[in-house]
């Protein structure tokens, strides 16, 4: 399930974030790559210990906490703090899969990565290349979104970032553990929830048909959630 969430950040919020990131102290992204990924990773990133990473990451998490589509699609239980990366001058990240288990920085816990997300912070007209290519049952899907938009996809997917041949591609990436680990179950819950939202338009709050659907949704969630 690949889901695009538009305008997680609006234009002004992106501009404010970019002003800070354009003056940030970027470091070699290879330092956080795994033993195999380091051979295919060529980018820059904001150090996790950089106060700016924490400040901007918290801004994104606050926005996601109020985004109904993100909540419905992810059923997020725990979110790994957002990381910021920059690709330029041919920078790329070859085909790889995200780590299944990720140790939370500054927290005594490990999360299971069920979903990955990329929040684009560069206008697509400002750079060439830099597509996020996600492999699924239908082949590779290239994603290059407007600044402020996010794509959410299974962490189990093979994916890559193609070389950036002009300009800079800046993005925030994050991983999360969902309350529902099974991808198919989570997808069905998402479809059911979106249908309930659509059918709710113009109906009274005590509509019995909607009540039955909501009853089914929550009982399925209760059955599939692993908390």
Q: Is 28 annotated as a binding residue?
A: no
Q: Is 92 annotated as a binding residue?
A: no
Burial (CB < 10 A; 0-12, 13-18, 19+), residue 112, is middle
Q: Is 11 annotated as a binding residue?
A: no
* CB proximity list for 69: less than 8 A, separation 6 or greater: 3, 5
Rg of the chain (C-alpha set): 18
User: DSSP assignment, residue 113?
Assistant: -
Q: Is 109 annotated as a binding residue?
A: no
**Minimal CA–CA distance to 90: which of 122, 128, 125?**
128
Q: Please give the torsion angle defined by the CA atoms of residues 129, 92, 107 and 177, in that order, rounded to the nearest 10 degrees.
A: 60
Binding region: 96, 98, 159, 169
Binding region for Fe cation: 96, 98, 159
Binding region for 2-oxoglutarate: 169
């Amino acid at each position: 399930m690949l889901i695009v969430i538009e305008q997680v950040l609006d234009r002004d919020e992106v501009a404010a974030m970019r002003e800070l990131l354009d003056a940030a102290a970027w470091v070699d992204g290879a330092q956080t790559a795994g033993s195999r990924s380091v051979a295919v990773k060529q980018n820059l990133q904001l150090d996790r210990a950089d106060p700016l990473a924490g400040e901007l990451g918290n801004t994104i998490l606050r926005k996601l906490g109020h985004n109904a589509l993100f909540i419905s699609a992810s059923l997020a239980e725990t979110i790994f703090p957002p990381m910021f990366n920059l690709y330029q001058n041919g920078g790329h990240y070859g085909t790889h899969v995200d780590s299944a288990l990720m140790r939370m920085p500054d927290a005594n816990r490990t999360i299971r990565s069920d979903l990955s997300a990329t929040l684009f912070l560069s206008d697509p007209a400002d750079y060439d290349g830099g597509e996020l290519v996600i492999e699924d049952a239908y082949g590779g899907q290239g994603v290059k979104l407007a600044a402020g938009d996010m794509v959410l996809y299974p962490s189990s997917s093979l994916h890559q970032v193609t070389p950036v041949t002009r300009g800079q591609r800046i993005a925030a990436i994050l991983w999360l553990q969902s309350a529902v680990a099974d991808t198919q179950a989570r997808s069905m819950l998402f479809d059911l929830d979106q249908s309930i939202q659509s059918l709710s338009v113009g109906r009274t709050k005590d509509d019995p048909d909607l009540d039955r659907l909501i009853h089914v949704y929550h009982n399925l969630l209760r059955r599939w959630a692993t908390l």
